[in-house]
C-alpha cells in the first residue's frame, strides 16, 4: 500500500481525524455511561482510566506500528512481519480474530445506531417535549418491545453504512469529522451545564470519581478493560489498517496522545452530563444499555431550546456512530476484496447483509427472543460480551506481544522514535505490564 503523499501536516491531520472518528462513537456516550452505572461508578472509571494508560496506549502503538511496517491489510501485515522476523505464520491469526471481532461488533452496534437514528427523528417531532421520566421510559420500552421498529431503524442504519463503504467516500468523512467532532464536544459541554442546574451535579461527581473499592471485582475490571479496547477501536485490526497508510514522518506517540485525550474527554463529559439527570429524576444508574435513551430525552424535553439541542445531539451521536461503523466494516470488505474475486461493491453488500442478519437476531433479543439464552446471556449481550471480553483482549494481546517480543528491536526503536529512557519504559510496559494485565484480567473474568 502506498504511503500518503500529502504534505506532512495535512496527512497527519487526516490520520488523527480518521483515528479519532473511529474511536469516538457510541462507545464513548452510550456504552461508557451505562457500564459506569452498572458497575458501581468511580471504581470502574478509575480502573478504566488505568487500562487506557497501561494497556490501551501500548496496544494502540503496537497496532499502528504493525500497519506502518507491514504496509498491508491486518492479516497480511502480520504474516509478512512474522516471516521477516522468522516467526510462525500462525501470527496471522491475530489479524483474523480482529476482522471477526469487527464483523460481530458491527451487528449489534448497528442496532444501537438505529436507536440513535430513531431518536433523532423523535426529537424533531417534539416527542419528548414536556415528558416526565416515566413517559420517556415508556417510549423507550415501547421501542424495544416492537421488533418492527427496531428492524426498521437497524436496517436504515446498516443501509447508510453499506452505502458509504461501497462508495469509499472516506475523504468526505474526514472533512465532516473535522467540524462535527468539535460540535459534539460543545454540545456535551452544554449538557454538562444543564446537569449543573439539576442540583445533583455533586452527587454525580462523587458517583464518578469517589470510589467505593468494595464494588470492585474481577467482572468490573474485565468490563473496564473491555471498554478501554472498545472505545479506542483496539483489537480489531482497524488501527493496523490505518497504520498502513501512515507516513514515516508522523510521530506515533504524540498522535496516540491526541486521540486518547479526545476519546477519554468525550466519555467523561458524557458521564457528567448523564448522571446528574439520572439522580435528579430518581432513575436507576444501573439501567443498562437504555441509560442515555431514557435520561437525555428528559433533559431535552424540559429545557428551553431542547428540541433543537436534542435533535443536534442525536444527529451528532448518529454521525459519530456512523464513522465508527464504517471503520468496523472496512476490514471485512477489504479482506473479501483481496482474497475473493468479489468487487468492492459486492463485497460490501455480502458482508453488510450478513452483518445485518446477525443484527436482526440481536434486536430480537429485546422482544421475541428474549428467552433465547446462551451461557445465560441473550444474543445481544452474548455478542457484546464475547467480543469485548474475549476477542478484543486476545487480538490486542497478540499485537503487543508480537511487537514487544518478536519484532526486531531496531525497527521498533525507529518507529517509536523514543529517547533511551522512553525505550526502557516502553520495554517494561509493552513486554510485561500490558500483556500481564490483559492475561490476568482475562483469566479472572472467565474463570
Footprint on this chain of ligand PFF (rule: CB under 6 A)? 22-23, 25-28, 102, 105, 230-231, 233, 236, 238, 324, 327-328
Based on CB atoms, which residue is closest to ligand PFF, 164 or 307? 164
Q: How far is the CB of 325 from ligand PFF (least distance, A)?
A: 7
Q: Is 253 helix (H, G, I), strand (E, B) or coil?
A: helix
User: Residue with CB nearest ligand PFF?
Assistant: 27
Based on CB atoms, which residue is closest to ligand PFF, 281 or 324? 324
Q: How far is the CB of 101 from ligand PFF (least distance, A)?
A: 7
Q: How far is the CB of 206 from ligand PFF (least distance, A)?
A: 26
CB atoms within 10 A of CB 37: 24
Q: How far is the CB of 324 from ligand PFF (least distance, A)?
A: 4
Instruction: For residue 236, give Cα distances in angstroms to 229, 350, 361.
Output: 9, 20, 22
Based on CB atoms, which residue is closest to ligand PFF, 328 or 362? 328
Q: How far is the CB of 95 from ligand PFF (least distance, A)?
A: 13
Q: Is 2 helix (H, G, I), strand (E, B) or coil?
A: coil
Q: How far is the CB of 142 from ligand PFF (least distance, A)?
A: 25
Based on CB atoms, which residue is closest to ligand PFF, 211 or 289? 289
Let me know: does 190 contact 312? Beta carbons within 8 Å.
no
Q: How far is the CB of 41 from ligand PFF (least distance, A)?
A: 20
Based on CB atoms, which residue is closest to ligand PFF, 20 or 298? 20
Residues 152 and 167: their CA atoms lie apart, in Å, by 23
CB atoms within 10 A of CB 261: 11
Based on CB atoms, which residue is closest to ligand PFF, 137 or 233? 233
DSSP characters over 345-400 = HHHHHHHHHHHHHHHHHHHHTTTTTTT--BTTB-HHHHHHHHIIIIIHHHHHHHHH
CB atoms within 10 A of CB 132: 11
Q: Which residue has the cell 455533586?
A: 202
Based on CB atoms, which residue is closest to ligand PFF, 22 or 295? 22
Q: How far is the CB of 197 from ligand PFF (least distance, A)?
A: 28
Element (H, E) at 15: helix 8-23
Based on CB atoms, which residue is closest to ligand PFF, 331 or 445? 331
Let me know: does 34 contact 292? Beta carbons within 8 Å.
yes
377 DSSP β-pair partners: 374
8-state DSSP, 283: -
Q: Which residue has the cell 419528548?
A: 128
Amino acid at each position: 500500500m502506498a504511503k500518503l503523499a500529502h504534505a506532512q501536516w495535512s496527512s497527519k491531520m487526516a490520520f488523527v481525524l480518521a483515528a479519532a472518528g473511529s474511536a469516538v462513537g457510541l462507545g464513548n456516550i452510550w456504552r461508557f455511561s451505562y457500564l459506569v452505572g452498572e458497575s458501581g461508578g468511580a471504581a470502574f472509571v478509575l480502573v478504566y482510566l488505568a487500562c487506557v494508560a497501561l494497556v490501551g496506549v501500548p496496544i494502540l502503538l503496537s497496532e499502528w506500528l504493525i500497519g506502518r511496517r507491514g504496509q498491508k491489510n491486518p492479516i497480511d501485515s502480520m504474516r509478512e512481519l512474522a516471516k521477516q522476523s522468522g516467526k510462525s505464520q500462525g501470527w496471522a491469526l491475530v489479524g483474523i480474530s480482529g476482522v471477526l471481532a469487527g464483523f460481530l461488533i458491527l451487528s449489534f452496534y448497528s442496532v444501537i445506531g438505529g436507536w440513535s437514528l430513531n431518536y433523532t427523528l423523535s426529537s424533531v417531532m417534539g416527542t419528548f417535549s414536556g415528558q416526565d421520566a416515566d413517559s420517556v421510559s415508556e417510549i423507550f420500552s415501547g421501542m424495544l418491545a416492537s421488533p418492527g421498529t427496531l428492524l426498521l431503524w437497524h436496517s436504515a442504519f446498516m443501509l447508510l453504512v453499506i452505502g458509504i463503504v461501497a462508495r469509499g467516500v472516506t475523504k468526505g468523512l474526514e472533512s465532516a469529522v473535522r467540524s462535527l467532532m468539535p460540535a459534539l464536544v460543545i454540545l456535551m459541554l452544554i449538557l454538562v451545564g444543564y446537569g449543573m442546574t439539576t442540583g445533583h451535579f455533586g452527587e454525580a461527581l462523587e458517583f464518578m470519581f469517589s470510589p467505593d473499592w468494595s464494588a470492585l471485582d474481577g467482572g468490573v475490571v474485565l468490563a473496564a478493560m473491555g471498554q478501554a479496547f472498545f472505545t479506542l477501536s483496539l483489537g480489531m485490526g482497524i488501527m493496523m489498517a490505518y497504520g498502513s497508510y501512515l507516513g514515516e514522518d508522523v510521530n506515533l506517540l504524540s498522535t496516540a496522545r491526541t486521540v486518547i485525550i479526545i476519546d477519554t474527554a468525550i466519555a467523561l463529559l458524557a458521564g457528567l452530563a448523564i448522571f446528574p439527570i439520572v439522580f435528579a429524576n430518581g432513575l436507576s444508574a444501573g439501567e443498562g444499555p437504555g441509560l442515555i435513551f431514557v435520561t437525555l430525552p428528559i433533559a431535552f424535553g424540559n429545557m428551553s431550546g431542547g428540541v433543537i439541542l436534542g435533535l443536534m445531539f442525536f444527529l451528532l451521536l448518529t454521525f459519530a456512530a456512523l464513522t465508527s461503523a464504517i471503520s468496523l466494516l472496512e476490514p471485512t470488505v477489504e479482506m473479501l476484496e483481496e482474497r475473493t474475486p468479489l468487487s468492492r461493491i459486492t463485497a460490501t453488500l455480502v458482508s453488510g447483509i450478513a452483518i445485518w442478519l446477525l443484527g436482526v437476531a440481536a434486536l430480537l433479543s429485546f422482544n421475541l427472543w428474549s428467552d433465547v439464552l446462551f451461557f445465560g446471556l441473550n444474543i445481544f449481550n452474548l455478542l457484546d460480551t464475547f467480543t469485548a471480553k474475549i476477542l478484543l483482549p486476545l487480538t490486542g494481546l497478540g499485537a503487543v506481544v508480537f511487537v514487544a517480543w518478536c519484532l526486531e528491536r531496531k525497527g521498533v526503536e525507529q518507529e517509536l522514535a523514543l529517547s533511551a529512557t522512553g525505550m526502557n519504559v516502553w520495554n517494561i510496559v509493552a513486554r510485561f505490564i500490558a500483556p500481564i494485565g490483559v492475561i490476568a484480567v482475562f483469566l479472572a473474568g472467565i474463570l
